[in-house]
Amino acid sequence: MNKELILQYLDKLISSDVISRSQLSCKLMQFLIESTLNNDTIKEYTIGEHLFGNDFDLEKSDSKVRVKVYQLRQYLQKYYETEGKNDAIRFEIEKGQYLVSFIDNTSTEKWNFFFSKNKILLVISIFILVLIVVAFIVFKKEKIPYWEDFFENDETTALIVGDIFSFLGPGIKNEPQVIRDYNINNEDDFKQYLNNYPDLKGKYKEADYSYLSQMTPYVTYSFSKLFFENRHQLNILMGSKCSIELLKSTNTIFIGMPKTMGNLLPLFNEINNSSIHINMDAIIFNSADKTQYKEYIAGSDNEMDIDYALVSFFKKPGGKNAFLFVSYNDIGIIGAVNYFTNKEKLTFIKSRLPEGTKFFTAIVKTTGKDRSEIGVELIHIDPIINNIKTDLVK
């Protein structure tokens, strides 16, 4: 920017009615502009010595400089609102700084001229229209195969995390110890166990805590993100706290191991009429014609972990939806969830099923290490035909 032009507008400023009567402010303005043009380092004490000489003592926390700079900013604001509103160059001193910024005011004048032509309403209208279009694009609900059934109404979905139920009983030296029995997976199982063995009442009690797999934060984040993006409520619950009544009344997503499925396992076995099944040890594919049979068990190969997950989408008795993600290790569930929340993958899955088929059971293979997936592969997918409408196992 032209130095002579800057000094010309400096003379105009300090000669104005707004600031000319304050000699210190004029002197300060001149010093700051000249120092800025010369690329000098401007410190509070250099300003103080220039303005006040020996009367300025920085060690005594003298606030004179800060007060004068504040007043100068006020003068500049008033000047550019009145006498200097058409100046080609505008001076600005940002808060916390002493260097002066030189602003080309000519482009601002053109902008102000544009708005002075009774076009402000037109511009505002266009701006509002653009906002509406952007909002429509951003917030439009994009249909995701299978998951759209969860988002079609305001019903809450329960994300059930398969936790490991535990209870306390007498251990060494009769000190309470944590006990895990894979036949006891929730409060109802524990109460039934005590009813079957009444002499154990008083010796055993439910623990105040349960155990979660390390995949839980990864997967709950994925589902929370999916439901938030579709503006739908998701409640996260522990499997050991879920009753049959709750399973009946809500759309359900389950993540966990077979031994933590609780009431969902008999429900799934009753409804699932595909060629894919699961037990406590393996996921089993047994073709309808009985010519193919294979058990899928987690393992490792070339220092990579290999895990298999069963994924099933079906409708529960009463019309509520259920999505199950069941595996024996963390990486299997993480890979399956990532696969079945990807729109492109879901579109591919839809193409693999017979026309008009909605519900299915699938096997997914995940290869990775330390809960980080490297690859996910769809091994089998089989439709659930004529989703059975029976009541839950009592």
Question: Cα(112)–Cα(116) distance, rounded to whole angstroms?
Answer: 6
**In the prediction, which pLDDT does 138 show?**
53
Give the mean model confidence (pLDDT) for residues 13-36. 91
DSSP for 131-177, please give it: HHHHHHHHH-----TTTHHHHSSS--EEEEE--B--EEEE-GGG-EE
**Percentage of residues in the chain with pLDDT exceeding 70?**
86
**In the prediction, which pLDDT does 74 show?**
92
Per the CB < 8 A criterion, the answer to whether 384 and 361 are in contact is yes
**In the prediction, which pLDDT does 113 show?**
35
Q: Which of 31, 30, 37 is nearest to 10 (CA)?
A: 30
pLDDT confidence tier of residue 208, bands split at 50, 70 and 90: confident
Give the mean model confidence (pLDDT) for residues 217-243. 87
Neighbours of 51 (CB within 10 A): 17
Residues 6+ apart with CB under 8 A from 92: 76, 100, 101, 103
Question: Cα(179)–Cα(377) distance, rounded to whole angstroms?
Answer: 37
**Would you give the DSSP letter of residue 354?**
P
**In the prediction, which pLDDT does 340 show?**
94
Residue 109 tokens read as: 């004048």
**Percentage of residues in the chain with pLDDT exceeding 90?**
25
Residue 82 has φ and ψ, to the nearest 5°, of -125, -100
| 254-270 burial code (b ≥16 CB/10 A, e <16) | bbbbbbbbbbbbebbee
Residue 311 has φ and ψ, to the nearest 5°, of -125, 130
**In the prediction, which pLDDT does 46 show?**
87
Positive or negative: CA dihedral 113, 119, 125, 130: negative
What are the pLDDT digits (tens) for 131-174? 766 665 555 556 788 898 898 877 889 999 988 888 888 877 77
Per the CB < 8 A criterion, the answer to whether 335 and 364 are in contact is yes
pLDDT confidence tier of residue 256, bands split at 50, 70 and 90: very high
**In the prediction, which pLDDT does 142 show?**
63
Query: Residue 196: pLDDT above 70?
Result: yes
**In the prediction, which pLDDT does 327 show?**
92
Query: Residue 10: pLDDT above 50?
Result: yes
Domain boundaries, the chain: 3-104, 148-162+212-383, 167-206
- Among 116-130, 131-145, 168-182, 322-336, top mean pLDDT goes to 322-336
**In the prediction, which pLDDT does 51 show?**
85
What are the pLDDT digits (tens) for 260-270? 887 778 878 88
CATH architecture for segment(s) 148-162+212-383: 2-Layer Sandwich (3.30)
**In the prediction, which pLDDT does 313 show?**
93
Residue 366 tokens read as: 């995940």
Per the CB < 8 A criterion, the answer to whether 309 and 321 are in contact is no
Per the CB < 8 A criterion, the answer to whether 340 and 380 are in contact is no
Per the CB < 8 A criterion, the answer to whether 84 and 13 are in contact is yes
Residue 57 has φ and ψ, to the nearest 5°, of -130, 100
Reduced to 3 states, what is the DSSP secondary structure of residue 304?
Answer: strand
Query: Residue 389: pLDDT above 70?
Result: no
Residue 223 has φ and ψ, to the nearest 5°, of -70, -40
DSSP for 228-287, please give it: HHTT--EEEEEGGG--HHHHHHSEEEEEE-GGG-TTHHHHHHHH--SSEEE-SS-EEEE-
Residues 6+ apart with CB under 8 A from 100: 32, 33, 36, 91, 92, 93
Mean pLDDT of the chain: 82
pLDDT confidence tier of residue 110, bands split at 50, 70 and 90: very low
What are the pLDDT digits (tens) for 69-102? 889 999 999 999 999 988 988 999 988 788 898 8
**In the prediction, which pLDDT does 368 show?**
82
What are the pLDDT digits (tens) for 331-386? 899 999 999 999 889 988 888 888 888 899 999 999 887 766 678 899 999 998 76
Amino acid found at 326: V
Q: Look at the block and give the residue holding tokens 């944590």.
A: 178
pLDDT confidence tier of residue 59, bands split at 50, 70 and 90: low
Residue 200 tokens read as: 């154990």
Question: Cα(34)–Cα(31) distance, rounded to whole angstroms?
Answer: 5
